[in-house]
Structure 1
Amino acid sequence: MPFSRLATATTPTAHLGLGLAAVGRPGYINLDRDTDLGDDRSVEALRSRTHELLDAAYAQGVRYFDVARSYGRSEEFLADWLNARPDIDDAVVGSKWGYTYTAGWSTDAERHEVKDHSLATYERQRAETEALLGDRLDLYQIHSVTPDSPALTDKDLHARLAEAAAGGLTLGFSTSGPAQADAIRAALAVTVDGEPLFRTVQSTYNVLERSAGPALAEAHDAGLTVIVKEGMANGRLAAPHAPEALQEVAAATGLGCDAVALAWILREPWVGVVLSGAATVPQLVSNLHAPAVDLDADQMTRLATLAEDPRAYWEHRGQLPWH
């Protein structure tokens, strides 16, 4: 994979990363959070849970860890963990800017995050990330780029991002929504002084939402590292919510629906890293079985039939409650 820090993470599970969206804040849209997190959503409870997940992931060979300014205190929790383990020098850290967390550590806030891709927001959030992660930050991504995002056309922003890249920071972007493919292709065209600005792309891709696949393959061919998020469709692909076809394939493999769903993504030749969004250590351990899942052609085809219309998928996602 072209992203050099990730390319050197040659552990058996190097193609699986850990995202902290589900544990960096008390409210999120993943299914079954009441079971996963219980009633104690205090800062210290989630800090402890995050550190437990990071310990387990690192021990199992995971080296890429993904956070964002809008994931509550995820950057802070990750920074604490790294600072307590100065001997760890091969952890690869990616964060994102462009959304501001506004829930005030509540699960029932009217708005949990506010999107703004302006240069002013970049400058403010870059300083906030720097204060927490310092030189441990390897990758900084624009959060949830869409085709109409001003981040794709703001030349002043591009110049500031290019300065950060010249200083050694890798730049990337993530995408969301039914027009992910259009956003990816637009971002691939962004250059500064004739050179591509972005080196990574992070997009939603799973057996239900496959629309970004061709554009992600193009990004890979253009030299970008592809990071896949929401491989479990916010819990829709985990038992007991998984579609019948996925449950039957999982039963045939002897592994969990989650491992099978992630294994299906890992079979794509353009995938660099697939993120686990586990909220518990048992979930993480189950996710990490994905590289061991051996899917045959018939099983791959059967899972591919689960694809939904992108607009229907994103409409469903948009209706998931924060809890």
Structure 2
Amino acid sequence: MPFARLASATTPTCHIGLGLAAVGRPGYINLGREEDLGADRGVDALRARTHELLDAAYAQGVRYFDAARSYGRSEEFLAEWLKDRPGADDVVVGSKWGYTYTADWTTDAERHEVKDHSLAAYERQRAESEALLGGRLDLYQIHSVTPDSPALTDKELHARLAEAAAQGLTVGFSTSGPAQADAVRAALAVTVGGEPLFRTVQSTYNVLETSAGPALAEAHDAGLTVIVKEGMANGRLADPNAPEALRSVAEETGLGCDAVALAFVLRRPWAGVVLSGAATATQLASNLHAPAVDLTDDHLSRLAALTEEPHAYWERRGRLPWH
């Protein structure tokens, strides 16, 4: 795991991180949020829930926490938690820029976030992130790079990111969409002064969507730390929505569908960190059983048969409602 701050984590669950997308704002596309969060989506309620999750994660050995400018108040909630727990200096903090949260703390906004990969957006959001997280920000990623993203060709932006890297900030990118593999390979080719710019990549990979796998293996071989998001496919791989084949494997292993789904990702030799997107402490505890799941070759074969065509997967994801 080349990202030095992550590599220094030695807890049993250091390969699982906690993502705050589901709890940093009142609306998101994860299935089951009505049951997970209930009716109270106020700022204070989600702040308390986020702090509860962070406490539970830290107590169980999780050391990587993932936020973003577009995750509502996730950076704010995380910064408050860090300030109140000075002993948690071994926590590694990652965030992302490139989307602006626009839902005004509602679940029914016409647009929940607006994408902008310009240099101006980077400078504005970097200042916003630093105002909240200060020196605790370890990793800053471009949010959801696609092959046509201007962030892949903007030389002035690359120079500014390289300056940040020279000052100690790790620079990375995340990907989304059916052409993730192309985006990863394009980003691997970005250099400044003959040196690769990016040190981490965060991509969607799960039982249903495996198309980025070969490119992520290439990124790993090139020295990048690979962070996997959406290992639960936005709740499609958790009870009660899990497909029958996954349910069957879970029953045979004696653990939950969620743990099995995350274990499938953890088995990839290139996976440095796999994110839990839990919204409750109970979900998080179940997710953290993933390293203990014993998947046989037969299990892996049955799970691999669930893979969907990438465009179909992302088209369905795009239709998930914000709630």
Q: Which TM-score band (shorter chain)?
A: over 0.9
Q: How many residues are matched?
A: 323
Which position in structure 1 is the counterpart of 2:67? 67
Which position in structure 2 is the counterpart of 1:282? 282
Q: Which runs of 4+ in 1 moved over 4 A?
A: none
SS at structure 1 position matched to 2:141? strand
Once residues 173 and 150 of structure 1 are traced to their aligned partners in structure 2, the CA distance between those partners, rounded to angstroms, is 13
Kindly state the Cα deviation for residue 21 of structure 1 after the two structures are TM-superposed. 0.1
Which position in structure 2 is the counterpart of 1:84? 84
Scaled by the length of structure 1, the TM-score of the pair is 1.00
Kindly state the Cα deviation for residue 165 of structure 1 after the two structures are TM-superposed. 0.2
Identity %: 84
Which position in structure 2 is the counterpart of 1:139? 139
Q: Pairwise mapping of residues 252-263 of structure 1 onto structure 2 (< 5 A)? A: 252-263=252-263
Kindly state the Cα deviation for residue 70 of structure 1 after the two structures are TM-superposed. 0.1
SS at structure 1 position matched to 2:85? coil
Which position in structure 2 is the counterpart of 1:162? 162
Once residues 282 and 3 of structure 2 are traced to their aligned partners in structure 1, the CA distance between those partners, rounded to angstroms, is 29
Q: Pairwise mapping of residues 1-323 of structure 1 onto structure 2 (< 5 A)? A: 1-323=1-323
Deviation digits for residues 9-51 of structure 1 (CA, Å, limit 9, x no counterpart): 0100000000000000000000010000000000000000000
Once residues 294 and 254 of structure 1 are traced to their aligned partners in structure 2, the CA distance between those partners, rounded to angstroms, is 10
Deviation digits for residues 183-219 of structure 1 (CA, Å, limit 9, x no counterpart): 0000000000000000000000000000000000000
Give the aligned residue type for 1:54: L
Once residues 67 and 77 of structure 1 are traced to their aligned partners in structure 2, the CA distance between those partners, rounded to angstroms, is 10
Once residues 2 and 192 of structure 1 are traced to their aligned partners in structure 2, the CA distance between those partners, rounded to angstroms, is 19
Once residues 101 and 210 of structure 1 are traced to their aligned partners in structure 2, the CA distance between those partners, rounded to angstroms, is 28
SS at structure 1 position matched to 2:299? helix
Kindly state the Cα deviation for residue 128 of structure 1 after the two structures are TM-superposed. 0.1
Once residues 300 and 268 of structure 1 are traced to their aligned partners in structure 2, the CA distance between those partners, rounded to angstroms, is 11
Kindly state the Cα deviation for residue 88 of structure 1 after the two structures are TM-superposed. 1.2
SS at structure 2 position matched to 1:128? helix
Deviation digits for residues 251-302 of structure 1 (CA, Å, limit 9, x no counterpart): 0011000000000100000000000000000000000000000000000111
Kindly state the Cα deviation for residue 248 of structure 1 after the two structures are TM-superposed. 0.3
Once residues 159 and 289 of structure 2 are traced to their aligned partners in structure 1, the CA distance between those partners, rounded to angstroms, is 42
Once residues 160 and 114 of structure 1 are traced to their aligned partners in structure 2, the CA distance between those partners, rounded to angstroms, is 22
Scaled by the length of structure 2, the TM-score of the pair is 1.00
Give the aligned residue type for 1:265: V
Once residues 284 and 9 of structure 1 are traced to their aligned partners in structure 2, the CA distance between those partners, rounded to angstroms, is 19
Structure 2 gaps of 5+ residues are none
SS at structure 2 position matched to 1:10? coil
